[in-house]
Amino acid sequence: MDIALFSPSSLFAGDDDDDSTTEEETVGTHQSYEERSHEFPGMDLLIREFSFHQLNANLLWPGTFAFAEWLLQNCSWLEGRRIIELGSSGTGALAIFLQKSLGVDITTSDFDDEEVEENIAHNCRINGITPVLPHIRYTWGDKFPKTEPDWDLVIASDILLYVKQYPNLIKTLSFLLNSYKPKDEKAEIDLSLPQPTFLMSWRRRIGKEDEELFFNGCENAGLAVKHVGSRVYCISPRQTSQVDQ
């Protein structure tokens, strides 16, 4: 599998491929943060966010809170699952909320970046999660560090902004879903949700053509896409795509 190296400017769709880079992309700066309280369903979390991060890992978007509420309302789909969050907004906030509210088995993942990993660990500690949640440093499209992934639920919120990275994202999803190897122990799970599956909340506005580019790409890769309510989508291998609505 080819390594997917990219600069911040390569994340977004554009009409031209100007190779010029900004000063922020080429010059290292001392990292700064903002730490503030965020209201999640039933609890407040203290979350440290990057004031700026060159990989756009500095944003905790409103869709995270809507997805948190939806997951809480549909918590039976999470019970007994091994979960990985694909892209953790540089903060791990959604995973921290789910672990504290539901006690789920969850792993965070985000760019292959030391500062992002440290910030997620920091947010775990200041919200009382010790040891911190397991974390995987991983950039979409790279060779995944675990050859036999055993997560049967992948989740993500508002990750379709990076239009140029859709092929790498779909490649990663295909690997995680099609290479899934269950653990020996048999946990009781809600089988109305496919195993494995990807639940994605998408609330940021992008062009309809860009949305269709992603969803059609998933279909072409052998994945079935279903809208399961409140701008939440279920994506799974086609042969296991049955889901109750």
* Domain regions of the chain by residue span: 32-240
Torsion of Cα atoms, 170 then 166 then 70 then 178, to 10°: 0
pLDDT tens for residues 83-102? 999 998 889 999 999 999 99
pLDDT tens for residues 184-224? 776 789 989 999 999 999 887 788 899 999 999 999 999 99
| Alpha carbons 91 and 35: distance in angstroms, whole number | 11
The structure's pTM equals: 0.85
Pick from 170, 231, 229: nearest CA to 204: 231
CATH top-level class for 32-240? Answer: alpha beta
Pick from 141, 150, 84, 132: nearest CA to 112: 141
pLDDT tens for residues 122-134? 999 999 999 999 9
At 202, list the tokens.
Answer: 């998408």
